[in-house]
Structure 1
Amino acid sequence: MKLTADAKGVFPIAPTPFFDDGAVDHASIDRMMDFYQACGSTGLTVLGQLGEAPKLDFAESLDIASQVIGKAGGMPVVVGVSAPGFASMRALSREVMDRGAAGVMIAPPNTLRTDDQIVNYYHQAVEAIGDDVPFVLQDYPLTFSVQMAPTVIRRIVTDLASCVMLKHEDWPGLEKISALRRFEAEGTMRHISILCGNNGLFLDYEMARGADGANTGYCFPDMLCDFVKWVGEGKIEAAHDLFDAHLPLLRYEQQPGVGLAVRKYVMMRRGILTSAAQRRPGSVLTAQAKTEVDHLLARLGKHDPRARNLV
């Protein structure tokens, strides 16, 4: 099943599990996939920015994507294929689509500066991978240093029919969501799915602005699933109460550089990952940082039982 512009819900960004020696932990991938399905995920993204994709060789990337697709049970899987050149992007895109991926995610290289450069890049990317491959446009200026105005996104969506989703990670970005939905209401841009990243840090109001859900890797994706579900059911205040309880940990995990270490540490404590290891180069939590995360989990456990009695 290919990704469409009607995608909604929560597409967690999966970390890549490693053993302490840097080898890929395939058993943890299976366990992680079981968890994502059980907690209500509607899709999944693998080999994203925090999936440590640049640290994998091509064979490893394809092997991991294939394992995830095989364990997805029909859940749509988006594969990150961003690469310095289009040859490797095309090769991975075609291979994962042949294996059953729903689509691919493409981030802009940090060399792009002008609007025309950004639009032309995505034209070339689609020419490389094929216009039959649905793609997610990743808009994350804080990491990629590429500023995409709403009008630039509209040009890409209008020019390229295979662009079916925006991974919205601008910050501040609420007005961008409103602008894009306004374009749709005016009839100047077709509808696309908007799922939000930034660790879900602003999801509480992004949904109110017209976002369709979350596409991020917070260590409690089950909370994100509950939040999106409750908003859809009109349980707005209950959803905000749950979100507010998680906000201190969300904020801590969003720290540049250390965020992935926090995420993997908590997922290890939740019994999802065998090890919190990152493949080198990677950050390691200090003893003091672990104490701080443990304190945040203890406080969260007063409001959400999922944070209690972790291993």
Structure 2
Amino acid sequence: MTIAGVLPVFQTPFGPDDQIDRTALARQFDWLFANGADGVVLAMVSEVLRLSSEERDALAGLTCELAAGRGVSVVSVGAESTRVAIRHARHAEKVGATAVMATPPALHQADEEQLFGYFMSIADAVSVPLIVQDASGYVGANLPITLQARLHAELGDRVLFKPEAHPVGPRLTMLREQTGGQAMIFEGTGGLYLVDSFRRGAVGTMPAADLVWALSAMWRALCAGDYPRAYRIAGPLALMVSLQTSLDGFVAIEKHLLVKQGVLASAAMRGPVGHFVDAQTAAEVEVLLDLLRAAVADE
């Protein structure tokens, strides 16, 4: 399957017992595909780092099962050790993932040679494509462009990239230039830099799930060359993303919006939590949601 377009990172719903709510997850997937998603991604804002290995296995399986026949499924396998990352990657492939995605270890800053070995080991352990995620916009350190270019030289079209280090646009161009324009790259900042990234050659976006209908409309507009429509949507979307200044900030607002739109019944997060949606933030989010709906409806 083609790995491109709008691939939202879904939010993991938790029930009153703090267990994964499978019924709510299935409802979220139905909503995502009904609103233009080309696939789904299990990753950082899915609270994957707050799950046990058994829960990650179960959620990976559910992701692939619920996406089957509707779009691609990408499973995050990044870990603090190569051994654990390989374990998650092999399981993801076994349960049917279209691709695996890996962040580098976040708790320590490894040198380029060690990181090259880490990513190559994951790629060698599976036959599906590997998406290299530089999540340094909110965790860890920047991945060198030279490292990403080396991975592309070794793996070719078996490797894709989700760069989130700033400045996003110039770094995207640098990676494209160092791979002869061949690197397949996803915008990964919630749509904040999607127009610029598209102009620079991005093949898609991996936003959160809460505003998939807006990102899908924006992506389709860009593909059709309708930049005025894309920019109309980009305005309120950028203001919304600007409120999300940390990993927990993303999760808290995204879950709040999914509840507001009737997709989830609960915005519960696994604790301890570093960000909450207070009354003023909620009010601002709802103003921006209305503006975004109006921008999408404006043909």
TM-score scaled by length of structure 1: 0.87
Q: What do you get for the CA RMSD once the two structures are aligned?
A: 2.2
- Whether 1:108 aligns to 2:104 is yes
Deviation of 1:292 (Å):
2.7
Structure 1 residue ranges without an equivalent (≥5): 307-311
Match of 2:234 in 1: 243
1:252 lines up with 2:243 in the alignment: yes
Q: CA deviation at 1:170?
A: 1.6
Q: How does 1:275-294 map to 2 (within 5 A)?
A: 275-282=266-273, 283-294=275-286
Counterpart AA for 2:92: V
Q: Does 1:44 align with 2:35?
A: no
Summarize the Cα distance change of 1:218–1:86 in structure 2 as closer, same or farther, 3 Å threshold.
same
Which residue of structure 2 aligns with residue 13 of structure 1?
9
In 2, the alpha carbon distance for the partners of 1:232 and 1:240 equals 13
Partner of 1:309: none
Instruction: Please give the per-residue CA displacement for 1:131-162, whole angstroms capped at 9, x wherever unaligned.
Output: 42321100122333322232221011112357
Matched residue type, 1:73:
A
Counterpart of 2:8 in structure 1: which amino acid? P
1:58 to 38, 53, 57: 53
Which aligned runs of 4 or more in structure 1 are off by greater than 4 angstroms? none
1:205 aligned to which of 169, 192, 196? 196
Equivalent in 243, 250, 263 of residue 254 of structure 2: 263
- Partner residue in 1 for 2:205: 214
TM-score using structure 2 length: 0.90
**The residue matched to 1:104 in structure 2 has which SS?**
strand
- Judging changes above 3 Å, is the alpha-carbon distance between structure 1 residues 300 and 224 closer, same or farther for their aligned structure 2 residues? closer
Task: List aligned pairs for 1:121-200, cutoff 5 A.
Answer: 121-127=118-124, 130-161=125-156, 163-185=158-180, 191-200=182-191
- SS of the residue corresponding to residue 159 of structure 2 reads strand
CA 91–120 in structure 1, closer or farther in 2 if over 3 Å, else same: closer
Structure 1 equivalent of residue 263 of structure 2: 272
Q: Does 1:229 align with 2:220?
A: yes
SS of the residue corresponding to residue 138 of structure 1 reads strand
Are the counterparts in 1 of residues 81 and 105 from structure 2 also a CA contact under 8 Å?
no
Counterpart of 2:79 in structure 1 is 83
Partner of 1:119: 116
SS of residue matched to 1:82 = coil
Query: Residue 117 of structure 1: CA displacement?
Result: 2.9
| Aligned CA distance change for structure 1 residues 302 and 124 (closer, same or farther; 3 Å) | closer
The DSSP-based 3-state class of the residue aligned with 2:185 is strand
Answer yes or no: is the 8 Å Cα contact 2:233–2:292 preserved in 1: no
Structure 1 CA distance for aligned equivalents of residues 168 and 242 of structure 2: 17
Q: What percent of counterpart residues are identical?
A: 25
**Unmatched segments (≥5 aa) in structure 2:** none
CA distance, structure 1, for counterparts of residue 229 and residue 185 of structure 2 = 23
- Check conservation: 2:252, 2:276, Cα contact below 8 A: yes
> Residue 33 of structure 1 aligns to a residue in which SS?
helix
The answer to whether the 8 Å contact 2:64/2:73 transfers is yes
Distance 1:112 1:160 in 2: 24
SS of alignment partner, residue 198 of structure 2 = helix
